[in-house]
Amino acid sequence: MSLATTILGYITAAPLLLCALALILLENLGSEVLNSFGRTAEHGRRALDGWVKLICRLSLIPFGIRVRVTGRWRLQPDGVYIFMANHVNIFDPIVLYGHIKHTVRGVELEQHFDWPLWGTIIRRIGTIPISHRSVASALESLNRAAETLRGGVSILILPEGHRTRDGRLRPFMRGPFRLALDTRADIVPVALKGLYERNRAKTLRVLPGKIEIKFGDPIVYESFADRTPRELAERVRTAIEELL
């Protein structure tokens, strides 16, 4: 059964992602029109967000993945946040982007931008590439993320940087927490529960079943303004572990 749903899932995901890409390209082509009305390209991306989020949710169905969302009521609808979640597998961005109702842009490993189709989609939608090899490049990416936050758009980042190999949280990088301190942004801890059982690193096989996205209480800037990045990382790590 899992092999059949895996094959069906990937076969179905391809045209859905193509639809998402078509929508994003349409927005890019219309950006000059938006600019003529005094609107930015980001305005166009926001207008398409709902459709792209819907495609993300639909793409999980053929794999037999059923999603339950809890805790989303904790968030202010007009809030601008840094969402931080555990990094489980290749489905993380799709699952999270599809179920975070806020306008959000991700920070993703630069190598992913070379992937066929997916790389084009994340580049066009405004995902920020980040390097684990160059400190200067990583800092530039975090500066871009800071500009995004100041522009009223939330950021999604996976502070482990790499997928888990055993289902447990890996060590957190410091950069995301410097970003939170520099921008005075509130942090929302998010736990992806059950997704590790659906798919693991180094395999494309997907097991059907339930997953849960758990949104924790926002950690407001005033409560960590005097903390170091290391101390803030430990606080967020504890919050995610409690949700798991």
Going by C-beta distance under 8 Å and a sequence separation of 6 or more, which residues neighbour residue 26? 48
- For residue 226, the Cα-to-chain-centroid distance in whole angstroms is 27
Q: Which two tokens stand for residue 2?
A: 């899992």
Q: What is the pLDDT of residue 38?
A: 47
| CA 130 vs CA 113, 144, 166, 201: distances in Å | 10, 10, 24, 20
Condensed to tens digits (0 to 9), the pLDDT of residues 50-88 reads 888 888 899 899 989 999 999 999 999 999 999 999 999
Asked whether the beta carbons of 235 and 227 are under 8 A apart, the reply is: yes
Q: How far apart are CA 175 and CA 78, in angstroms?
A: 25
How many CB atoms sit inside 10 A of residue 221's CB?
14
Asked whether the beta carbons of 172 and 159 are under 8 A apart, the reply is: yes
Asked whether the beta carbons of 85 and 191 are under 8 A apart, the reply is: yes
Q: Which two tokens stand for residue 10?
A: 């990937």
Q: b/e per residue, 64-77, with b = 16+ CB within 10 A?
A: bbebeeebeeebee
8-state DSSP, 127: P
Q: What is the pLDDT of residue 141?
A: 78
| 80, part of any domain | yes
Q: What is the pLDDT of residue 166?
A: 85
Q: How far apart are CA 154 and CA 156, in angstroms?
A: 7
The answer on pLDDT for 221 being more than 60 is: yes
Q: How far apart are CA 21 and CA 15, in angstroms?
A: 10
Percent of the chain with pLDDT over 70: 83
What is this structure's pTM? 0.87
Q: What is the pLDDT of residue 193?
A: 95
pLDDT band for position 33 (cuts 50, 70, 90): very low
Q: Which residue has the higher pLDDT, 142 or 117?
A: 142
Q: What is the pLDDT of residue 83?
A: 97
pLDDT band for position 26 (cuts 50, 70, 90): low
81 backbone φψ class: left, alpha, beta (φ>0; ψ -120 to 50): beta
Based on the structure, what is the number of domains in the chain?
1
Q: What is the pLDDT of residue 27?
A: 64
| 11, part of any domain | no
| 175, part of any domain | yes
Reduce the DSSP state of residue 213 to 3 states and report it: strand
Q: In what order do the strands lie in the sheet with 186-193?
A: 65-70, 209-215, 186-193, 81-85, 154-157, 104-109, 128-130
| 166, part of any domain | yes
Q: Which two tokens stand for residue 135?
A: 């400190």
| 125, part of any domain | yes
| 31, part of any domain | no
| 152, part of any domain | yes
The stretch 16-21 carries a mean pLDDT of: 75
> Residue 174's domain spans which residues?
67-243
Q: How far apart are CA 34 and CA 36, in angstroms?
A: 5
Indicate which CATH number applies to the domain containing 213: 3.40.1130.10
The label of the residue with tokens 């193509």 reads 18
| 178, part of any domain | yes
Q: What is the pLDDT of residue 18?
A: 76
Condensed to tens digits (0 to 9), the pLDDT of residues 153-193 reads 999 999 998 888 888 899 998 889 999 999 999 999 999 99
